[in-house]
Amino acid sequence: MAQRLPPALEQKYERYRKMVEEHENWLATARLWEAQIGELKRTLEELSKQPEDVITYKAVGQVMFKVEKPKIVEEMENEKQDKERSLTVLSKKLETQATKIKELHDELQVELGKQNLRLQ
């Protein structure tokens, strides 16, 4: 027969589960931003090897527009910087949240231990 958890413990477990799920989603976002930053860096590096008057294009949806190299470089630099700032903020949030998840996990382990149960 399955043992029913007390409502307060069940709520705490549900909060823990949601925090873990949110943390995983934030990690996925961080990985995506890291990949985008890497792609921007590689593109900017390649653009830096090209002469200033090189013909460049920017894809917008299914249409390509001719743009001046300095303008596209500036746009990409700004986008890279914005993503790096966002990633820094997200990394701090992840660090704080990981600490909270660990604390909640430890609390749950103690409370479940009192009932001879264990958190996976």
pLDDT values of the chain reduced to their tens digit, one per residue, 120 residues: 356 778 888 999 999 999 999 999 999 999 999 999 999 999 999 999 999 999 999 999 999 999 999 999 999 999 999 999 999 999 999 999 999 999 999 999 998 888 777 766
How far is 15 from 63, CA to CA, in rounded Å?
46
Residues 23 and 94: beta-carbon distance below 8 Å: yes
Nearest to 114 by CA among 2, 1, 15, 5: 5
pTM, full prediction: 0.82
How far is 12 from 38, CA to CA, in rounded Å?
39
Please state, as a whole number, how many other Cβ atoms lie within 10 Å of the Cβ of residue 116. 7
Identify the CATH class of 7-113: mainly alpha
